[in-house]
Structure 1
Amino acid sequence: MNKTENSSNNYSSFETSNFEPSTSSNNRNNKNNKSKFSLLRFVHLAYNYWAIFIVRNSKAIIAICTLITFLCTLKVVMTEYKNDITGYTPYGARSRQELAIREHFFNEKDGGGSPFGVFLLLLPKKQNNEDNDNFLNEKMLNEAIKVDEIVNKNFPLFNLNKNRSETFSQFCRDFCELNEPLRRFQEGFQHQIQRLESNETLNPNIKLNYPLSSIFGRTFNIQPNFFGIHINNSNNNNNNILLSNMAKVEMVALIYKAERVGGWSDDEVKNWQLSVSKYFDNGKFNSSLIRVLSVSTAYVEVEVVRAGLTMLPFIIVGFVIMLCCSSVFVLLSASYMNQFNYKRLWLALMACLCPLMASGTALGLLFLFGVRFGTVLCVTPFLVLAIGVDDAYLMMHAWQRIKSKEKEINRGIIETIKERVTKRMSLVLVDTGPAILISALTNICADAIGSFTGSPEITLLCMGSMAAITVDFIYQVTFYAAVIALLDESELKSEQLKENNRKLCLSILIGSKGIYKNKTITNHQRPKNKGVSHFKVNLSTKKLFASDSLLLEIDHYREQQIVPFFTMATIFVNNPGNLSNPSQIQRLNKLVNEMESLPESWGSSSTNYFIRDLSDFLGEESLNDLNNGSINEFLKWPENKHWKAFVRTDGENGTLKRFFFTTAYHGERLKEWAERANLQNKWRDIIDKYNDLNATVFNDEGLFLDLINNMPTDAWQSALATLICMTTICALFMGGEWRTVILAGITIGSIILGTLGILAWMDITMDPIMMAALVISIGFSIDIPAHVSYHFYSSGFDLPKPINKNDRHLFLNQRLTTTLLAVGIPALQAAISTSFCVLALLLVPLYMAQIFVKIMFSCIILCVIHSLILIPALIVLSDGILWNLFLLCHNTESVPNSIES
């Protein structure tokens, strides 16, 4: 046997082992294929029977799906938003444990839950008078006290335990004196001003300095209430030099915090918080000197929801644009196939409506079973819309191709209309159904994995996405298939009527097909790795609000003027031990001193540590002889009553069970979230040294600071889960053609990496909104590659296998041509339609809208490029490599790569 014959025989063996057999293969190959592709054969058989059911019950299926959608959507409309401010914090985050300990501390006494409250920021109104631009002014301080009186004496809550309405000053227990330093400062300031006006000397027992002031020997810290401080210098010449070491105070903060002692529900607490904010925001508070900004958890939630709702009109505009694009594409496609009919517009309409119906049904069912309606679920329709429209275009295009081929091949065959519709629907579902199923299963499995990782909000998003994609798959193969069947039946009846009336045979021609040739593969990976490595995390809350939100201003002042000058840490000591033991006191003092020794610390001047006052009250020697009643006696004194909020004792015995202390930090670098996270880690490192005290440190931002390290982990875990699911499911459906399976996985990984790289190069920072949009885009990145991969795999079923090396290139071209003709046009139509829909959100002046557009648009472009260019290029390249490796292993002469042949 010569070398050429040997090569030809070896090539046949190579093709048998690497490509699917045709129906004309020998018995040995058929037997092998029967076991190899049993799952796909079962899916095809199921779709055949399903097509019969769809055609027989089309109208009933459409009616049932519509009714279910209406009822479930009604449930969605009637369900209220309920956001969790801690939702993006990872499950295993340390801050969750710290929050639980804090809540346990406050629940232990009153049992009503964690404290609630409102934060007010007082700013001078812009006036020409410089005196009215400084809170070191008698009139300005009086206005601040007036605001404090309004909050304390108005806005009642009905106390269910006492059966009466109470104002803040009445239902407040342990946190009533948070604004007492401001009152003391105002009283001392007013007293000194009166002495100056009376030409008397200032009272030496009153020192109104920053950060510590004192009145008649009682020292108090004004840092929590005074911000935008300008310290006096020798060049200034005004009364403030005499009164204080401060020359100017730009803003005053008022803090209101109360325990849940009235048996109030969450909604009642939120309504109280909102009533305070609305009073000052809606102009009910009149002052010619100051204006008041407010913030609370309830107010933040309302503003986040309002920001999301501002996108609704533009989403509707985008949907209308998408519908118009879909209509144009459907009519053009029908005209190209010589099947022009205005009834095809129903296919365009239902292609856009079907995913939205699926979203409404899925969300309604979730809410029916008690799932929380978080605003993050509002983005799930975009994922379903992108995937659902692509699937609808795929089914529509397959139906048109099958209809055209049937008219050419089956000309003259007599069949009833029902038989012809059933046959076409069976071919459509067999052609497109497995690819749609692969895409849906991959997304469902990836979302199922994501539901058990990450954070509650990501879990909620994954649950919503998983449910919506499941329902969308069901609606695609029921509702949309039924629409196609009814339209097909209607067109066949019209054709038959025309034939009977005019006795004219219609001849439909199919447009010629071009041969796809790919000779190069572009090096497009360069910006990706570098871009991803430059990702930064930015958790600024201003990204959540609309451009006209009043919270933007208070957030600006908070970031620039409050956090860098007063960041407070709360340390809970859950096992303080016996305070009469000197070594135990030393141990506690060492913890406090170490927290105060950090470079960013304000030192002991900012620390609220009750043992220091207790030591002064009892004396050092008496502290060593501390008995059970000493602490209760200490707390009964009026000047010490504020310490009641800091300690928990064992009933009448007075034994100390646990306590907390606070200390403050500052620094310009704390304007950056990453620096605050580093500071929090320093706190935790210190706390970890005192396991015997069972101490924990709590910070109001801790739940969000833990996101900085968690979000990148969530991103790569979601991507990895998607890749694993895609590869596994493709392997199950595509038998042993590992080349296609591996290339599909590589493509999806490249799309995800490319999306991240583009976002990084655009200086987009990582945050919860970006993460939610990224999860959606990862789901969309599966769809088109799955369709291309499956159609390439199935394209070999009906093609004759090459019998020698000369047929190899032709065989590969035929498979690629079949694949791209089946998937290319629907993929482009879906990409263009979805892009126009998403681009409408660019009109919304909202960060979450802008970032969603950038991520989705980048992902759509990359999906099209990878699916329609990169995958075919890799297939051609790998084919030549595998062939030459095969010849090399069999010691035969290498042939030119198919790229160059």
Structure 2
Amino acid sequence: MDQICHWLAHRPLGVLLIVFLIILPILSYFLFHPLRIESDVRRGFAQRNGRSTHELKSFADFYNISYEGLDIWVILIKSKKGSNETDLTINSNLLNEVERLDQFIMNFSITADNTVLRVSDLEGSKLNYLFDWFKYTHELSMFFGDIDLSHPIGKAMGHEFFTGSHFFGVNDHFKENQTGPIETAKFMTLWYMSSAVTFDEKKKLELLQMELFKLSIADNFSDILSFQMYGDQVANAEMLRGTMFTVKLFVVGVVMMIVFMLYSFKHLEFKSQIIQTIAAVASPTIATATCFGILGWTGTPFNSIMCITPFLVMGIGVDDAFLLLHSWRRHSTVDNQKKRIRAVLLEIGPSMAITSVTNTLAFGIGMTSPTPQMSAFCLCTAIAVLLDLIFEFAIFVPIMVLTYRERVEKLPLRPSFSFFSWTKYVHVLLSKTGKVIAVTLTLLLYLSATIGVSQLVPSFDPSKTFPKDSELLVALRNFEIIQQEYAPINFVSRHMPDLRNETEVSEFFQMISRLENRDFCYGSNRTQLLLRDYINTMNSTNLTYEGIPKFLSDRMIADKKIIQFHRENNSVVMDGINYIVICKGSLDWNIRAGRIDQTRHIIDEYPQFNTTLFDYDSTIYDLIITVKYELFKAVLLTFVCMAIACGFMIPSLGAASIATVSMLSISYSLLGWLSIWGQDMDPVTMINVLMAIGFSVDFSAHVCYHYHIHRHQDIKMDKKEQIEQILKSVGRPMIEASLSTLICMLPLFFVPVYIIESFARTVCLVATFGLFHGIVIIPVVLSWLGSSRSPGDPNSQDILLTASP
């Protein structure tokens, strides 16, 4: 400590030089590498090593596509915008136009950086073969009377085929004939599977999808139809658009906070006022930049959620700057710079350390989040918060020592409002009426929070990751209409039953029957299972798989990879089969998640077939299923760590206990009010609560630590005088820090992205509830648990247990 104070007091320029010599090589990362922000609404929020990840990998492997590169997207076709038609009329003209659209998309290309990019170059597998077959047979239906193009099962040339994957809202105007020949449809769809593994390939696919997305908005492709599209790469681009908007508003927030700090520092000379303000902002900014540099050099990818980190670190850093400046001013009577710094560090250093260490611990525990993007965000913020603590002492304090100059005519320490003083405030607060009001407000806070917590529902959906003003939401809402009618669950069975073994065949179809005959499924007539068709077609008592190649060729689907096999010793050996059970959808993500969980339990009872399901949204279902457990586990672990940290850093059992309970109180209030504010229980909420636990320590630790200090330094004061001295020490910095944080976060409410809004709400609520606890609840509690000593009664006993004298 003595050496640190010596360097800060007598060699501040040397300290600054050493710091910048250390961090410049780290910051040089941005000179040699472009800043690549990776966004993945699908895998970025997938549960790490979760079951859905294994299922996606299994499905991708089946089609010989990398799990990282699998991308399924959809074109949704509807009646022409501006026309009087609400439904599509299914005729040759429309089918020809849809076929033209399909061919246009498959051959679509753009030029970027002198390179021609084509959709076909990234094609993974053809998925529109049923539409192709429908169109082909529709042309023949004029010549052959035995062709039946009904919904949902059509018949042509002796084969049945499913039409429900491309036509939706069929014959809605014929209520009695919705399953007959297809005459009209509300929507049609075209499905595409692409493979984009590397970052460059994903950017290519993003550029292609974005151009198609723009074409869909322009709506000038056809005179008889309009189309919309939904794809993960478009969602990623929209998420990145929200990120860029957030960065712009961050600048606005910083400017607003600077204006507030200039006003707060009005007791300084103008030059000093400017420099102190810049230094207060520079320390957290440099800490964040250094953190990004470290992540870059270590190969950790940047994601769009990390754009929130500068806001959080700025709030913590400016809070520390207010505390340091306020303490430096209060010790202005100390002539020796070294002693003055020592006094400041002893007074403020421990509470700064508590807040930074506990925040680092909270975000460190958040790194265990099951979602990669949230985990990476917590890693980034934990490092940045720790660096900010170091830079507050290594950058801000040296600059403060060098440039702090007060005006000749000093302004009073207390706020300039003549009607306010901490003495009056404490007198009112600790009066009988004041305590009744404080208790009443606290009970109302807990009551409202309890109501909010009781209404929390586990949920999450991709729309929470991109802006609410996105045109993609329009397509997503229409796609949800389709999902209510058509919710396919794909299955891949790697071990197919031996057709000569009746037991195996019986068990396999028993599994299929259980899957397709549930309340929310349509039954066997809509299940797409080629093995059943093969058995019915062959109609043989001594059946083998030798007829599979011809069976697939006759249906012109030999290249579709639905059934995979290889030849071994001139015999057909089966490698696996993909089949689809068609279910009714639901807009309630909890219901959908429960159905997927139920489906997994069924296939788990038949391990001999090595079956995995595939639902493209299963990564989100996993989050919904596990979020309660993950939230409870993370909060419990964080709370225990925070309690231990407070116990170590506040050497008073009573004060540490109050700080810990206060932290729990703030977090519980936050969770309830987030629910009232319209937030669900999801991974974002989990990280918010962890962040709240870390941030809430800021307020309780400052008050409780100073209470411990004042109790031993001011032993002749009664409890009211001690609380008054505490609030004179930390009250104003806490208010200024809370206001500056609120001002900095205010612009984030104009970012129409759920995740960003959620973090802004969290920080603002924590700042509000934390301030309420710091200057209202904790002082009242301390007045009850504090010293029973009366003025002039040194023999009274202390009922607040302390760990050390």
- Asked if 1:645 corresponds to 2:554, the answer is no
Q: Which residue, 511, 521, 525 being the options, matches 2:446? A: 525
Query: What letter matches 2:514 in structure 1?
Result: E
Query: What letter matches 1:879 in structure 2?
Result: G
Q: CA deviation at 1:289?
A: 2.0
Q: CA deviation at 1:308?
A: 1.7
Q: Greater CA radius of gyration, 1 or 2?
A: 1
SS of residue in 2 equivalent to 1:604: coil
- Asked if 1:59 corresponds to 2:9, the answer is no
Residue in 2 aligned with 1:474?
A: 390
Q: Deviations over 1:107-139 (max 9, x none)?
A: 4xx779754343211222223453x84242433
- Asked if 1:844 corresponds to 2:761, the answer is no
Report the Cα distance in structure 1 between the residues aligned to 2:552 and 2:15, rounded to whole angstroms: 73
1:649-798 to structure 2, matched below 5 A, reads 649=566, 653-667=571-585, 670-735=586-651, 737-798=652-713
Query: What letter matches 1:616 in structure 2?
Result: N
Report the Cα distance in structure 2 between the residues aligned to 1:302 and 1:507, rounded to whole angstroms: 53
Report the Cα distance in structure 2 between the residues aligned to 1:300 and 1:507, rounded to whole angstroms: 56
Q: CA deviation at 1:437?
A: 0.8
Residue in 1 aligned with 2:418?
A: none
Report the Cα distance in structure 2 between the residues aligned to 1:166 and 1:487, rounded to whole angstroms: 57
1:86-485 to structure 2, matched below 5 A, reads 86-91=43-48, 93-107=50-64, 115-130=70-85, 133-155=87-109, 175-176=125-126, 178-191=127-140, 195=142, 203-231=144-172, 233=174, 245-258=181-194, 265-272=198-205, 274-279=207-212, 281-282=214-215, 283=218, 286-331=221-266, 334=267, 342-403=271-332, 405-406=333-334, 420-485=336-401
CA pair 507-641 structure 1, distance change in 2 beyond 3 A: closer
Report the Cα distance in structure 2 between the residues aligned to 1:112 and 1:708, rounded to whole angstroms: 22
Report the Cα distance in structure 2 between the residues aligned to 1:366 and 1:138, rounded to whole angstroms: 57
Q: CA deviation at 1:648?
A: 4.5
SS of residue in 1 equivalent to 2:63: helix
- Asked if 1:82 corresponds to 2:38, the answer is yes
Contact 2:646–2:660 at 8 Å: present in 1 too? no
Q: Deviations over 1:598-624 (max 9, x none)?
A: 11112223222221132134333131x
Report the Cα distance in structure 1 between the residues aligned to 2:579 and 2:274, rounded to whole angstroms: 69
Q: Deviations over 1:850-877 (max 9, x none)?
A: 3333222211110000111111111111
Q: Deviations over 1:1-37 (max 9, x none)?
A: xxxxxxxxxxxxxxxxxxxxxxxxxxxxxxxxxxxxx
Q: CA deviation at 1:755?
A: 0.7
Residue in 2 aligned with 1:579?
A: 499
SS of residue in 1 equivalent to 2:160: strand
Structure 1 alignment gaps of length 5 or more: 1-45, 159-163, 196-201, 411-419, 496-505, 803-809, 885-891
CA pair 883-715 structure 1, distance change in 2 beyond 3 A: farther
SS of residue in 2 equivalent to 1:257: strand
Report the Cα distance in structure 2 between the residues aligned to 1:451 and 1:866, rounded to whole angstroms: 28
How many pairs align? Answer: 770
CA pair 139-768 structure 1, distance change in 2 beyond 3 A: farther
CA pair 156-312 structure 1, distance change in 2 beyond 3 A: closer
Q: CA deviation at 1:73?
A: 5.4
Query: What letter matches 2:254 in structure 1?
Result: F
Report the Cα distance in structure 2 between the residues aligned to 1:814 and 1:894, rounded to whole angstroms: 17
Report the Cα distance in structure 2 between the residues aligned to 1:686 and 1:853, rounded to whole angstroms: 42
Q: CA deviation at 1:273?
A: 5.0
SS of residue in 2 equivalent to 1:79: coil
- Asked if 1:588 corresponds to 2:508, the answer is yes
Q: Which residue, 715, 720, 724 being the options, matches 1:813? A: 720
Residue in 2 aligned with 1:21?
A: none
Report the Cα distance in structure 2 between the residues aligned to 1:896 and 1:115, rounded to whole angstroms: 65
Query: What letter matches 1:294 in structure 2?
Result: M
- Asked if 1:621 corresponds to 2:541, the answer is yes
CA pair 539-235 structure 1, distance change in 2 beyond 3 A: closer
Contact 1:730–1:741 at 8 Å: present in 2 too? yes
Residue in 1 aligned with 2:417?
A: none
Length-normalised TM-score, structure 2: 0.88
Q: CA RMSD in A?
A: 3.4
SS of residue in 2 equivalent to 1:564: helix
Contact 2:63–2:561 at 8 Å: present in 1 too? no
Query: What letter matches 1:223 in structure 2?
Result: G
Report the Cα distance in structure 2 between the residues aligned to 1:840 and 1:153, rounded to whole angstroms: 43
Query: What letter matches 1:102 in structure 2?
Result: F
CA pair 234-258 structure 1, distance change in 2 beyond 3 A: closer
Contact 2:638–2:690 at 8 Å: present in 1 too? no
Contact 1:118–1:273 at 8 Å: present in 2 too? no
Residue in 2 aligned with 1:862?
A: 769
Query: What letter matches 1:330 in structure 2?
Result: F
Report the Cα distance in structure 2 between the residues aligned to 1:346 and 1:893, rounded to whole angstroms: 49
Contact 2:562–2:579 at 8 Å: present in 1 too? no
Q: Deviations over 1:637-679 (max 9, x none)?
A: 4535156333354666432233332111015xx1111111121
Q: CA deviation at 1:61?
A: 3.1
Residue in 1 aligned with 2:803?
A: none
Residue in 2 aligned with 1:543?
A: 464
Report the Cα distance in structure 2 between the residues aligned to 1:105 and 1:562, rounded to whole angstroms: 26
CA pair 637-64 structure 1, distance change in 2 beyond 3 A: farther
Larger RCO (CA under 8 A, 6+ residues apart) = 1
Contact 2:122–2:205 at 8 Å: present in 1 too? no
Q: CA deviation at 1:209?
A: 1.2
Report the Cα distance in structure 1 between the residues aligned to 2:423 and 2:774, rounded to whole angstroms: 18
Residue in 2 aligned with 1:805?
A: none
Q: Deviations over 1:173-192 (max 9, x none)?
A: 7x32x212223333444455
Contact 1:232–1:246 at 8 Å: present in 2 too? no
Report the Cα distance in structure 2 between the residues aligned to 1:680 and 1:615, rounded to whole angstroms: 28
SS of residue in 2 equivalent to 1:118: strand
Contact 2:89–2:183 at 8 Å: present in 1 too? no
Q: Deviations over 1:182-236 (max 9, x none)?
A: 23333444455xx5xxxxxx84212121111122322211111112323463899
SS of residue in 2 equivalent to 1:78: coil
Q: CA deviation at 1:448?
A: 2.3
Query: What letter matches 1:183 in structure 2?
Result: D
Report the Cα distance in structure 1 between the residues aligned to 2:775 and 2:59, rounded to whole angstroms: 55
Contact 1:383–1:776 at 8 Å: present in 2 too? no
Q: CA deviation at 1:834?
A: 1.1
Length-normalised TM-score, structure 1: 0.79
Contact 1:727–1:745 at 8 Å: present in 2 too? yes
Structure 2 alignment gaps of length 5 or more: 415-420, 801-805
SS of residue in 2 equivalent to 1:796: helix
Q: Deviations over 1:121-165 (max 9, x none)?
A: 1222223453x842424332221111111123344999xxxxx99
Q: CA deviation at 1:253?
A: 0.7
Contact 1:73–1:364 at 8 Å: present in 2 too? yes
Q: Deviations over 1:63-86 (max 9, x none)?
A: 454566666556468220113432
